[in-house]
Amino acid sequence: MAGQRGIYARRIVARNVRRLRVARHMNQEELADAARLSQSQVSKIETAKLNFKLDVAQRLAGALGVRIAELFDDAKRK
């Protein structure tokens, strides 16, 4: 059960990171550079394949110019 919640949370973050990145006209490499990550890590985050630490989420939020809570917002957005 706890594992399923983790997968669900990663899917929410994946959707939000991609949505925010695209809205800012950034490619994965630009986001990776701004967040001090590799492009491969960003790709894995956006496909919910990477279980990452909170400091990575904070760096992503900073690079996207949002509060960290927005990455975990489960509201359905287009």
Could you state, in order of their start, the residue ranges of all structural domains in the chain?
A: 2-71
pLDDT tens for residues 39-50? 999 999 999 999
Residue 37 CA to residue 23 CA, distance in Å, equals: 20
**Residue 3 confidence class, pLDDT cut points 50, 70, 90:** low
Determine the CATH number of domain 2-71.
1.10.260.40
Tens-place pLDDT, residues 5-45: 778 999 999 999 999 999 999 999 999 999 999 999 999 99
> How far is the C-alpha of 78 from the C-alpha of 59, rounded, in Å?
24
Residue 29 host element (H or E): helix 28-35
